[in-house]
Amino acid sequence: MSDALTQLEADIRADLAKIAQPGAAWLEPKMGPDGRPALDVLIVGAGQSGVAIGFGLMRSRVGNIVLLDKAEEGMEGPWRTYARMPTLRSPKDYTGPDLDIPSLTYQSWHEARFGEASWQQLGLILREHWAEYLLWLRRTIGLPVRNGCELLEIAPAADGLLAARVKRADAIEVLYARKIVLATGQEGMGGWMIPPEADGQLMLLVQASDEDGTWSAGLVRAVEENLRPAGNRDGKRALNDRGRAAVRWLHARAPLQENVLIRLPDREVDAIFAAGSGQQRVNELFRRAQRMRVSRTVVATVAMQDDYMKRVRGGGGARDQLRAEGIVIFGDYAGDQVLAAALGLPRPGPGEFVSARLVPRPAEPGDRVYARSIRLAGADWLLAAAADPAAAAPALPR
């Protein structure tokens, strides 16, 4: 650990002491059915949200808490697992789990870790650095986290408590708590929680998955035989097996607009976001995601600019800049859709683009004599093979 980081942690301890953090607990202990004091709050998930919630409770003098996460230490949340963008999208100076304590901000940690000059030069925060910061933050403020723990079930217990069955390695234990917070992020999505106000009502259920590339919508009535018993104080319930079987699907696993950033290999995504400007990133996107549907949402994510569509259009955007390399970008214009389909490319839907490198049909086509082609600027153009030299492509007709 650097001297600057050691000094920062000393400053943090002094700051917390001055605001009486954590201070004396004000909740009276409550005994669980196992004869031990129950937790005031059990937080399931020790990622960004779980850390912020835990710290907020500690600042409110609620210190009898535990955070659980099934990931190993340092792997909580998406940052070192399924997150695809190399950086956070939020501006670097946004505050978050520091709860407005200056010495706990990401900026303070970054300057102590890498120097003030590095902070000044920083554009967006690398996700690996954000994961490292969150781990440092939780250790520094003393959050009680248990890794390798998976929540199996929540059930009502005596005296208004909740019982959480938790698996750790090959053992299962029951933790009793006054309150349980599910801070599981995206992994907690897709299971509908039905409030008491919906009892007897016809419900529209919707879910979607970028990973699967599908979405579903269906109807079911919230009647007793379709619902599990309530497992929380607010009376929310989930569908049981009968309820799930009773859903009348209007759309079942229908295709969802593709998120090309999930389909590309990590090295390609990293190369896209490594480019310095929004225009350069959009150019790399269409270079590396050829023959795939690219949505406007993905373009906006990559460009990180309000005028992101300008980075695609002719008049200086990717359409003009990439034609010198033979790369043509088909859009959702009717003519573009016909040309893309004629080449055997995916047909761009509304708000979508498909890029592909083209080459003129050679005088001696060899084994590509029957290859699909389109007529542009008085010549026939084919999809380029990897070995074909680059040739400037004409503009698409408008």
What is the predicted pLDDT for the residue at 189? 43
Tens digit of each residue's pLDDT (9 = 90 or more) over 315-346: 899 999 999 999 999 999 999 999 999 999 99
The token pair at 198 is: 């919906």
Name the least confident of 11-15, 35-39, 355-359, 361-365.
361-365
Looking at residues 8-27, what average pLDDT do you find?
82
pLDDT in tens, 256-297: 787 888 888 888 988 999 998 999 999 999 999 999 999 998
Point out the least confidently predicted range of 22-26, 67-71, 334-338.
22-26
pLDDT at residue 142, as a whole number = 93
pLDDT number for residue 135: 96
Three-state secondary structure readout of the chain: CCHHHHHHHHHHHHHHHHCCCCCCCCCCCCECCCCCECEEEEEECCCHHHHHHHHHHHHCCCCCEEEEECCCCCCCCCCCCCCCCCECCCCCCCCCCCCCCHHHCHHHHHHHHHCHHHHHHCCCCEHHHHHHHHHHHHHHHCCCEEECEEEEEEEECHHHCEEEEEEECCEEEEEEEEEEEECCHHHHCCCCCECHHHCCCEEEEEEEECCCCEEEEEEEECCHHHECCCCCCCCCECECHHHHHHCEEEEEEEECCCCHHHHCCHHHHHHHHHCCCHHHHHHHHHHHCCCCEEEHHHHHHHHCCCCHHHHCCCCCCHHHHHHCCCEEEECCCHHHHHHHHHCCCCCCCCCEEEEEEEEECCCCCHHHCCCCCEEECCEEEEECCCCCCCCCCCCCCC
Please indicate, yes or no, whether the overall pTM of this predicted structure exceeds 0.85. Answer: no
User: What domains does the chain contain, in order, with CATH numbers?
Assistant: 3-185 (3.50.50.60), 190-255 (3.40.600.10), 263-383 (1.10.10.10)
Range scoring the smallest mean pLDDT among 28-32, 64-68, 220-224, 255-259: 255-259
Q: What percent of the chain has pLDDT over 90?
A: 59
> Across the chain, which distance is largest between two alpha carbons, in Å?
88
pLDDT (0 to 100) of residue 326 = 96
Instruction: Provide mean pLDDT across the span 20-26.
Output: 71
Cα gap 348→338, rounded to integer Å: 10
What's the mean per-residue pLDDT of the chain?
A: 89
**Is the pLDDT confidence value at 109 over 50?**
yes
Note the pLDDT of residue 233.
61
231-240 pLDDT per residue, tens: 656 678 888 8
Residue 51 is predicted with a pLDDT of: 95
* Percent above pLDDT 70 for the chain: 95
